[in-house]
Structure 1
């Protein structure tokens, strides 16, 4: 097994120009130092898609799409990472070399997890071919073979075989990654392990890059739970992922709409009937992270639920989790099917045209659904009932930050309660003095707001970081590094002596990579080192945030350098641990008995410097 050397990928990124690459797919227009176009990943009327020739990344201020030339080709053409690398290499006349696995690689947080999950998915797919009961079940649900293949459906063997995965994992009994990936269950009492999924139709769950991150397994007859999902793992969080998104992205982009349903079979059968822009939550309520992701995908988000009480409760939770994220220009609606139908049965009974007619004509706007649900709890014909409606609606309205949306909601509420908008405003102010006080404070503090705007455009001094907590600082440090990798090269590598874990560990790896790869001029080159790893999406998001902060203007280099140094100092102080001396002694021992790596030498130098600094401070004190 071979892989593409990291050095080749970085050389390729240095040779290709992202402007030339993207202009092969869509027309770009010069806009100041950058280039602009209408985003190819969501429908829009005015350009919000920006390409930076200096930083070599693209960024959409509408949907949040962000990445390098490699990421654009992958996203636009739906290619895998190696395929995109080869396509770009061909465009500049390079031959893609291969190297054996085991050579030095970029930092990896969870090596092997994706490989284990992919191997399990392949095994389940193969097992489906020889499982007549599973094939009969899927055919009975109306599923066609081509659809099952598109979504990678499989079958987990059951019966007396409790360790079917042994067929593909010879080290089954002691392979820790199988448990970490949620594929097996370890019994402490018997000290035996067995397959988590048994005698179930398997639905692989993919991330946005098309890698398997988990599974949903459905029983074919009686049994509980009806659906069994993978547990939370380092690469799988139910509250962040959406089933079917990898297959639906192109259709969502083309239609400008995303449909959210409750079941895996709903997604699969809708796609089979031509409604290919549907995704499903993974056995959980729709979370704020889900909503945030959906609003980046499309301007029109439709939540489709069963018409029973459970469906309405699920819809209300989705509404509550959407309020803080509402934006003017975005449309959120709720479609309730007849109680005897779910999306799967409805599209099979009435077809695509009738179903999409319901989506367009019968879906209820969020504002209408919110006020209708609240109004059903009061007696609108009485003054007391209308007063209670205002009381119920007030905290929900306060969460809506979108100005036009908030105004429309208040106008609708005023009409229901037979009040003028000014009268309703005064009532809301009286019921929530803290909100009014907050508005007054915001009106009286225009200068800080102006300073923030100036800072984003690089015209103001960098604010002090001393008021931020450690986690905020670590994210800020990562943003600064991705905005300008040279900051890490110009600073002393004090992070080598940090006690690193969690975000701090990631920050140390990014800072060290920025120094090691001295040729990197852009943050996206750094981010590409983590492609295929669990942290890639996190770094991609931080890079996008950095472009929002610094991308619309040239930030003050001295200000950035000052903030970078201050962040390093504050984080280092907060991480100071007594185990530092133990680590220094360990490195000294290893230096005598076998030698140190270059990284460890740098770490030792930093530890000695920190120790001397502590002694000086103690002496001066």
Structure 2
């Protein structure tokens, strides 16, 4: 395991502009560098690299990350490979954390084993591809399926002939145990060996980083099984992998969604017709691991199944795998084609635009769930409605708590003639499900009355009388993000390139009075931005904000104060150097600011001092990482603030004022009956007066 401290040291030393510049032609564009995005096809540059923030972001497809992420995404390197590659360029050696000599030896043995497996698979692939050129029957089959040599080369298709020991021509040591471990050869009980794949079109299976990990083979005539996959090996598990995810990674970003189909031929056939964002499970039902990988690739997923009973059963299993991973900011839909069509045949019959039109009309997961439940029970009868709720309980409880789950509960309650509260009571009695995970940092804020802003105790310590209404409390806590307002190779079967050809995929300071930190007292109110434009953007006013990613569907926006603070810290992580426990305590007073506090703690603990390093340090699936990723477009376009320290101090002052007013409102609601409550109220009022005076300077 590579220590986190080393990752931060590495990112502090490398220059992302130099790393990206090896692969992308960059030109100066203000404070940033611009170029054509290497992750999707574009004619006008929308790919931005920030030397200051050590980060890249594409405003076209949303690709973003640090120097490490760029190497992983662009070259297919694994995380350790990318780290070692970058470390070698700056003269660093990669340490291993807390590994005994025995563990390090085991790690080395494991790396060697994986390397040998991969080498064997690549050698077999070269053999299969060469064999395809020499098989008229296999070429005819692919041509009849509408596939050109170009698309066959892109996916690295091959052919395993009928020779029982065809791979003996490739591997002189046909008795090598590793051939069996790699899934290329089968050994019978009596010790005889023969090739696993014979008389099949071969589909190389690559993982999300582009590494060859196994094969799928399809018969071209009669024979069973129609599809045959590599067995479970040290580097391949079919329940975890998706065919076409590597080959379609650029199209997934360009299209903005990933389409899940049932077979290899569907993936390749769709790509032939220009729909390159399809992937397939490897002959297994959709698993939660599949769903996790899909959602890492895109926040929009469409499952496309046949409309028959088998297709609907597969869709239902996929839905169940999705439930524990649902979030308010993702979209999962289901497309059921007519019974006589699969995606490959449909796109060949009607064209890619017709298929895309079908994708646009795919049924939302929520609608599929509710309609399927309704179809299984007679909702005109009490017993049917009760049975429907009984079946729905574990499904709803599997969904993490959030807006989507609430909406599902409301819709189901309406279907079964219950009130939302009644259904909620039934679910509560059933206990929390596997997906029931409360959203952290969301205590309720009482909307009670309190003294108006700036109206605390007077100079003589008089207690202002309670009144009704009028208090503005901090915005509701949220986790989401609201952006700123605002073929020449048609004859290729006769001459495939070599396996390595570019034609295919193969290769603290204490507080002093009202001030916070070094800046002392603030000089202006936090919200007063009349004289400071925040954004640079063509054809936009200073305060309009840049073009930005759309807010995620189903997710409420982050409060404006939290949004400002997150932007501020992402642009100026060095602010955390002057923060102590007292400032963190101030952040704790705003329950909706838990993500801001998390970001401060992350920067302090990791040592990250620029945007790229912060994103690398954040836990990948955490709420903080999600919000930071959604904020990137705004942060990359944000102009440098002249006085970030003053901005931060003003923000803390605003947070404390809000907290003090809420505390006053709670005292007022309690009636201020005892002397201690009145005295505390006066203390709060005096503090409010001090803070207001300091912000008016």
Same fold (TM over 0.5): yes
Q: How does 1:152-551 map to 2 (within 5 A)?
A: 152-158=156-162, 161-173=163-175, 175-189=176-190, 191-361=191-361, 363-430=362-429, 432-433=430-431, 544=620
Bigger shift: 243-252 or 18-27?
Answer: 18-27
1:275/1:352 contact within 8 Å kept:
yes
The answer on 1:112 being equivalent to 2:116 is: yes
Question: Does the Cα contact within 8 Å between 1:66 and 1:544 map onto a contact in 2?
Answer: no
* Cα RMSD, aligned residues only: 5.1
Q: What secondary structure sits across from 1:233 in the alignment?
A: coil
Structure 2: stretches of 5+ with no match in the other structure: 1-7, 41-47, 91-104, 445-476, 478-575, 582-603, 629-697
How far 1:199 moved relative to its partner? Answer: 0.9
| Deviation of 1:67 (Å) | 7.1
Structure 1, residues 526-557: CA drift from partner, whole Å, max 9, x if none? Answer: xxxxxxxxxxxxxx9997479969x99xxxxx
Answer whether contact 2:261 2:278 (CA < 8 A) is retained: yes
Which region of structure 1 is more displaced relative to structure 2, 312-321 or 371-380? 371-380
How many aligned positions are there? 436
1:144 aligns with 2:145: no
Give the structure with the larger helix fraction.
1
Partner Cα separation in structure 2 for residue 545 and residue 410 of structure 1 = 26
- Deviations along 1:179-229, one digit per CA (max 9) or x if unpaired, are 11100011231x221110011110000112222110000111111100000
Give the Å deviation of 1:391: 1.4
Deviations 1:337-381 (A, max 9, x none): 1111101111111111111111102x1111111111111111111
CA deviations 1:97-126 (Å, max 9, x no partner) are xxxxxxx99932523111111110111000
For residues 277-321 of structure 1, what are the alpha-carbon distances to aligned partners after superposition, in whole Å with 9 as ceiling and x for unaligned?
Answer: 000001111100000111111111000001111111110010001
CA contact (8 A) 1:261 1:278 kept: yes
Assess if the C-alpha contact under 8 Å between 2:243 and 2:280 holds in 1. Answer: yes
1:80 Cα shift?
A: 11
Distance in 2 (CA, whole Å) between partners of 1:542 and 1:194 is: 48
2:152 & 2:439 partners in 1: Cα distance?
A: 57
Alignment partners' CA distance in 1, 2:442 and 2:276: 50
Deviation at 1:16, TM superposition (A): 2.9
Partners of 1:29 and 1:404 in 2: CA distance:
41
Shift of 1:383: 1.9
Assess, with a 3 A threshold, how the Cα gap between structure 1 residues 243 and 444 changes in structure 2: closer, same or farther: closer
Deviations 1:254-285 (A, max 9, x none): 11100000000000010110111000001111
Q: Using a 3 Å threshold, how does the CA distance of structure 1 residues 147 and 261 change in structure 2: closer, same or farther?
A: same
Q: Secondary structure at the match of 1:397?
A: helix
Secondary structure at the counterpart of residue 284 of structure 2: coil
CA distance in 2 between partners of 1:256 and 1:381 (Å): 41
| CA distance, structure 2, for counterparts of residue 124 and residue 29 of structure 1 | 51
Preserved CA contact (<8 Å) 2:401 2:438: no
1:128 aligns with 132
What is the match of residue 535 of structure 2? none
Q: CA deviation at 1:234?
A: 1.0
Measure the CA separation in 2 of the matches of 1:441 and 1:138.
51
The CA deviation at 1:422 is: 2.2
SS in 2 for 1:245: coil
Q: 1:373–1:41: structure 2 CA closer, same or farther, 3 Å change rule?
A: farther
Is the partner of 1:259 in helix, strand or coil? strand
Q: Is the 8 A contact 1:17 1:53 kept in 2?
A: no
* Greater relative contact order (Cα < 8 A, sep 6+): 2
Distance (Å, rounded) in 2 between the aligned partners of 1:11 and 1:428:
49
Alignment partners' CA distance in 2, 1:341 and 1:546: 40
Q: Please report how far the alpha carbon of residue 137 of structure 1 lies from its aligned counterpart in structure 2 after TM superposition.
A: 1.3
Q: In 2, are the aligned partners of 1:257 and 1:299 still within 8 Å (CA)?
A: yes
Summarize the Cα distance change of 1:244–1:379 in structure 2 as closer, same or farther, 3 Å threshold. same
Instruction: Say which one has the larger Rg.
Output: 2
Distance verdict in 2 for CA 1:121–1:260, change over 3 Å? same
Deviation at 1:429, TM superposition (A): 3.1
| Shift, 1:177, TM fit | 2.0
Matches within 5 A, 1:43-62: none
Distance 1:209 1:255 in 2: 20
Match of 1:616 in 2: none
| C-alpha spacing 1:67/1:188, structure 2 compared with 1 (3 Å) | farther
Contact in 1 for aligned 2:160/2:197 (Cα 8 Å)? yes
Per the alignment, residue 72 of structure 1 pairs with 70
* Superposition deviation, residue 419 in structure 1: 2.8
Contact 1:126 1:154 (C-alpha < 8 Å) held by counterparts: yes
| Matches of 1:402 and 1:201, distance apart in 2 | 46
Query: 1:91 and 1:441 mapped to 2: Cα distance?
Result: 42
